[in-house]
Amino acid sequence: DYAHAAKKFDAPYDTVRRRFLGQHKAPHDAHEAQKIMTSAQEEVFLEWMVFHAQEGRPWSQSTIQRQAESFTGRKPHINWVKGFRRRHRAQLKFCGTSGLDPKRAVCFNPGTVKKHFDELGAAIDERKYKIHNRYNMDEKGCQIGGGRKRTGRKYFFPRSERANYKKRNANLELVTVIECCSADGEMLQPGFIFSGAGYEYEWFQDHPGISVGLTSNGWTDETQCEKWFEESFIPQARERAGDPEERVLLIFDGHGSHVTPKMMELAMANKIDFHLLPPHTTHKTQPLDVAVFGPMQLRWTERMEEIVEETGEGLPRYDFISEYMSLRSSAVTTQIVKAAWRKTGLEPFNPNVFTDADFAPSRMTSTKVTVPPSFPASENRCSTDSESDADTDESESSSESDSDDSDSDDRMDHAADSTPLPADVSDQRSHSSSSSDEADVTVHELGPKVPQFTPTPIDKRSSLQNQISILQRDLQACNELYLAEFARRQKSETNCHLARREIQSLKGRINAKQRQQGRKSNRFQVDSNFLMSDAGLAQFNEANRRKADKERVEQERRDQRTATERQAQDRR
C-alpha cells in the first residue's frame, strides 16, 4: 500500500512508488559511480579504521588519504575525507588523543590481568581482608608551577592580536606526594618529599599526621619509602583496623623503591600483606591512577594559574602543602575513591571488569593474529603451538627493559574476539623441517558456498503478461544476487589490500627491532668527551680493531686448550 507507506515514512506518494518499482535509487546508490570508492569498499575501510583505533593506532586525515591512494591509485582531496566523515559520523568521531606508552599497551593483556586477579582473589579468600583494611599506595609528582600541561580553558582575545599569551608560573621544581587510599573511600594522611636540605615551618602548621622528607631532587627513594611505611602508613592502618589480629592488604606497583627487605620485615611484624600490580598496567589496575590523580592534577594546574592571576607571582614553596591539602579535600571525595576501586575491579571484586576493547592495544604483540570481523576467510581458524620469532624478540626486549616484567607467556597470551588471519595471508612457515620449534599450523577451509540461482517455473498455459512478469522478477533477483556477490568481492579485495599493508607494517616493526638489538656493536667508549666526525670514525675503527684482536687471542687460547685436552686424552 503506497499510501500507507508514504504516511508512515512521511515521504511523497510518488517517491515511495518509484522507489518500490526500482525507478528511483537512494542518493548513496544513485551516485555510486561518482565515488572514489564504492559503499562496500568504504565499509571495509571503516572497519579497519575502527580496528586500528582500538589498538591505539588511529588514522588521521592524512592517513585516510594515503590508504585511499594506495588502493585507488590517486590521492583524494581533503573534501573527500570530510565527506567520508559525514557519511560515517554515526560510527566515527574526530577528536584528540591521550598518550599510551607502548609498554603499557603490550603488558595490559588478558593473560597478565587474569593472573593478577587470580592471585588477588586467592589472597582475599584466604585472609578475609575487611574493606577498610585494603589500601592502594602510589606517589605522584607535583610541580610547584603547575607543570607544562594546560588546563584546556579558553579565553577571549581581540581579533587584532596574533600572539595570545597567558601568564603562568614557570617553576618546574618537583615535589613527590605519597598518597594512600582505602577501599571504603577514605584517604590516609599523605607524605611529601621536597628537594633541598631545609624544612619550612608552614609545612607542619595545621597539618597533623602528614610526613615530610627531603632528597636531593625531590624524588622518592628506598629510605624515604621505608620511613613513610614505618612512621606513617603502619600507625594509620593499624589504628583504623582496631583489632591487632586483623590483617591489612597493601596494593601497589612493583617499583624498585617500594619493596625493600626492611619493609618486608615491618610488614610481617605488623600483619600487613603486599600485592604487587603487574608492571606497566597501573593505568588500568591501580585506583589512584585511574580516578584520583587525574582530577587532582587538573585542579592543581588550574589553582596555580589562579594564584598567578591573584598575586602576580607563583606559589611560594612554603605554601605548597597548605594549597595541596586544601585542593585535596575538595577534589578527592569518598565517592571518587570508591568509584576508582570499582573501575579497577578491586572492590567489589570483579575479575571480568575489563572487556576485549580494553585489551585491544595488546593485540600487536599477541601470538594470535587478528583482523576485522569482515575479513574474507572469517570461517578459517589458525592455531599455533609456539611463538613466532617476533614474539620472542618482544618478550626478550621487554624483560631486558624491566626486570619486574611478567612472564612472556602470560604477557603474550591474548584471546581477542577477532578473526584470525588465514594461512595464505600470514607469514608462511616452512613445513619441511621436523624440528619441534616449528609452529603446527592447522587450517580448516570452510569458505562460503557458490551462490545458486533457481529460476521460477513458468506455466506455459499462463498469459504472456504473467510470464513476462515472472521473468522480470527473476531478472531483478539475479541482478541483486550479482550485485551482492560483486560487493562481497570488492570487500574481499579491499580487506586483502589492507591486510597486505598491515603485514608490511609488521615486518617493518620486526626489522626495526632487529636493527635496534643488533646495534650494540656500534657503541664504543673513549677517554674524550668531545669528538669531531673524523676523529669519531677513527676512534670507532680503532675500538673495533682492538675488539677483533682480543677475540682472536681468546679464540687462539680456546683452540690451544682444546688441543691440550685432546692430547691428554690420547695419552690415556
> Does the structure show a pLDDT above 60 at 423?
no
pLDDT band at 527, cuts 50/70/90? confident
Identify the band that residue 442 occupies on the pLDDT scale cut at 50, 70 and 90. Answer: very low
Residue 191 has pLDDT above 70, yes or no: yes
**Between residues 239 and 378, the one the model is more confident about:** 239
Where are the chain's structural domains? 14-97+471-511, 102-152+167-343, 366-429+437-447
Which pLDDT score is estimated for 25? 67
Classify the phi-psi angles of 453: left when phi > 0, otherwise alpha if psi is within -120 to 50, otherwise beta: beta
In the predicted model, what is the mean pLDDT of residues 215-232? 92
Pairing between strand 419-420 and 370-371? antiparallel
pLDDT digits (tens, 9 = 90+) for 274-296: 999 999 999 999 999 999 999 99
Question: What does the pLDDT average to over 54-67?
Answer: 91
Per-residue b or e along 292-317, where b marks 16 or more CB atoms closer than 10 Å to that residue's CB: bbeebbebbbbbbbebbeeeeebbeb
- What is the mean predicted confidence (pLDDT) over 424-440? 37
pLDDT of 310-369, one tens digit each? 888 889 999 999 999 999 999 999 999 999 999 999 999 999 999 988 988 888 777 777
Q: 0.85 cut: is pTM over it?
A: no
Q: Is the sign of the CA dihedral 227, 229, 234, 236 positive or negative? A: positive
CA dist., res. 376 & res. 490, Å (int): 10
- More reliable by pLDDT, 525 or 242: 242
Q: Tell me which DSSP letter residue 153 carries.
A: -
415: pLDDT confidence band, cut at 50, 70 and 90?
Answer: very low
- Percent of all residues in the chain with a pLDDT value above 90, rounded to a whole number: 40
The DSSP bridge partners found for residue 250 are 135, 274
**So what's the pLDDT on residue 539?**
86
Instruction: State the DSSP string of 266-334.
Output: HHHHTTEEEEEEPTT-HHHH-HIIIIIHHHHHHHHHHHHHHHHHHHSS---GGGHHHHHHHHHHHHS-H
Euclidean distance between CA atoms 102 and 362, whole angstroms: 9
pLDDT above 70 (res 422) = no
pLDDT higher than threshold 80 for residue 419: no
Contact predicate 299/331, CB 8 Å = yes
Say if CB 332 and CB 187 are below 8 A apart: yes
* Residue 475 CA, distance from chain mean position: 51
Residue in the block written with cell 560483486: 486
Tens-digit pLDDT profile for residues 473-489: 889 888 888 888 888 88
Q: What is the pLDDT of residue 28?
A: 62
3-class secondary-structure state, position 164: coil
- Nearest CA to 412 out of 381, 387, 437 is that of 387
How much is the pLDDT for 256?
65
C-alpha cell at 84: 567520508
Average pLDDT over the chain reads: 82
Q: What is the mean pLDDT of residues 296-307?
A: 90
User: What tens digit of pLDDT does each residue of 241-278 get?
Assistant: 989 999 999 999 977 667 889 999 999 999 999 999 99
pLDDT of 31 reads: 62
Look at residue 372 in the predicted model and tell me its pLDDT. Answer: 85
**Amino acid 119: pLDDT:** 96
Show Cβ contacts of residue 131 under 8 Å, excluding neighbours closer than 6 positions. Answer: 182, 183, 184, 347
Q: What is the mean pLDDT of residues 197-226?
A: 92
Q: What are the tens digits of pLDDT across the range 311-328?
A: 888 899 999 999 999 999
Neighbours of 200 (CB within 10 A): 16
User: Helix, strand, or coil here: 381?
Assistant: coil
Return the CATH fold of 102-152+167-343.
Nucleotidyltransferase; domain 5 (3.30.420)
Distance CA 286, CA 288 (A): 6
Q: Which of 476, 135, 176, 109 is nearest to 275 (CA)?
A: 135
Looking at residue 450, its pLDDT comes to 60
Q: What is the mean pLDDT of residues 445-472?
A: 78
